[in-house]
A = this chain, B = another copy of it.
Amino acid sequence: MPAIGDVARLAGVSKATASRALSGRGHVAADTRRRVQLAASEIGYIASPDAASLVTGRTKNIGVVIPFVNRWFFGAVLDGIERTLLAAGYDLTLYNLPVSGPERSRVFEFFLARKRVDAVIVIGVDLTPGEIGGLERREKPVVCIGGSGEVTARLTIDDHGVGALATSHLLHLGHTRIAHLAGVGATSQPASVAGLRAAGFLETTDAAGLPLLADESSAGGPGAILVEADMGMPAGFAAGLQLLGHPAHRPTAVFAASDEMAFGVIRAAERLGLSMPRDLSVIGVDGHEHAELFDLTTIEQSPTEQGRLAVEVALRMLGGEGGGGGAPDPLPDSGAPMPTRLVVRGSTARPAVA
């Protein structure tokens, strides 16, 4: 495997000049540069990133922590991150984080703590103070997308607002018995995405005078129902069957915390012979690429764009003079929430007259 010394020899210059000519740093005569570049491609020279990292302290590699690969939102974010990093000449090292357990701490205490990643992007994870502290101690910039934890840079939508908006939409249509399919941890982790969306739902129904019902089998009539489930489609389906199974207790509208859950609810409704939106209105969150196909009303966000931005922020934190401590806010719009948009489709409508 050719090293820079070989290139230098072939081009008749010193290693130092070869390095400058190839990396573009420092001044080299145009002619010399061409000779060096020619020599390099001649022998198929490619710089060893490890050697460069060793001396510069920069790896040009970003660690990405994600709880699931196979959920649309996360995949889309990952996609945005990947493209942006690639264009910037950075590598992406992926860590598929187990919810908890020894594997999780190994990721933070070993993999991410090493000098192999310049910065870390964390997607949809509720970070513990210890995890954040460890990264800070190693002076690694951390950019979060969603999730929770006291971190300096976080890109997020207004999840509380999303919960409120979705709920208002249903209320305005005239629904008075509304269920919210919240993500797991909505009550135990109030600061999490699931928790915030649920809070938005609860406050809005409460403000509308709807009582919070103990569970889905509470007697009919107006009220708000809260159910926690995994944010995927199968769990949405199961919860949907449960929720919609008994005609007497059935809500007329469901606000699902994710589009995938909503798809599950829609299929459950179909399975039960309910017609939409006549018998049931459903609204989701995300702007899933299949939402149109399911004719699902949803609150769109742009995960790919969030991924792109997260990289930009991370790179900016890296670019700033080393520390990042006193640097000006690297977040766009002073950390304002990312935009969302209510897209009304055929899955929501006024309830059938009682």
Q: Which residues of B contact A69 (CB under 8 A)?
A: 69, 75, 78-79, 82
Q: Please name the 9 residue pairs, one residue from A and one from B, whose CB atoms are nearest each other, closest first.
A: A70-B75, A82-B96, A50-B50, A50-B53, A69-B75, A48-B115, A94-B94, A49-B116, A50-B54
If A54-B51, A79-B70, A290-B234 touch, does A46 touch B96 (CB 8 Å cutoff)?
Answer: no
Interface 1/0s, chain A 138-156, versus B by CB < 8 A?
A: 1000000000000000000
- Residue of B83, B95, B103, B293 touching A96 (CB-CB under 8 A): B83
If A1-B138, A91-B111, A107-B86 touch, does A50 touch B46 (CB 8 Å cutoff)?
Answer: no
Q: Which residues of B contact A51 (CB under 8 A)?
A: 50, 54
Compute how far the CA of A115 lies from the CA of B69 in the bound complex, rounded to whole angstroms: 27
Q: Which residues of B contact A293 (CB under 8 A)?
A: 233-234, 237, 264, 267
Interface 1/0s, chain A 77-91, versus B by CB < 8 A?
A: 011001100100001
Identify the closest chain B residue to A90 (Cβ). Answer: B111
A25 to chain B, nearest CB (A): 18
How many residues of A are counted as interface, with CB atoms below 8 angstroms from the partner's CB atoms? Answer: 50
Q: Which positions 87-141 of chain A face chain B at CB distance < 8 Å?
A: 91-96, 103, 106-107, 110-111, 113-116, 137-138
Identify the closest chain B residue to A51 (Cβ). Answer: B54
CB pair B50 A115 closer than 8 Å: yes
Indicate whether A201 reaches chain B with its CB closer than 8 angstroms: no
Q: Which residues of B contact A76 (CB under 8 A)?
A: 70
CB pair A92 B91 closer than 8 Å: no
A19 to chain B, nearest CB (A): 16
Compute how far the CA of A160 lies from the CA of B111 in the bound complex, rounded to whole angstroms: 41
Indicate whether A255 reaches chain B with its CB closer than 8 angstroms: no
A128 to chain B, nearest CB (A): 18
Q: Which positions 43-67 of chain A face chain B at CB distance < 8 Å?
A: 44, 46-51, 53-54, 59, 61, 64
If A51-B54, A75-B70, A290-B234 touch, does A86 touch B113 (CB 8 Å cutoff)?
Answer: no
CB pair B82 A94 closer than 8 Å: yes
Most buried by B among A91, A110, A233, A234: A91
Q: Which residues of B contact A47 (CB under 8 A)?
A: 114
A347 to chain B, nearest CB (A): 14
Identify the closest chain B residue to A116 (Cβ). Answer: B49
Could you jot down 5 A-B contacts, CB within 8 Å?
A51-B54, A64-B94, A86-B106, A91-B93, A91-B116
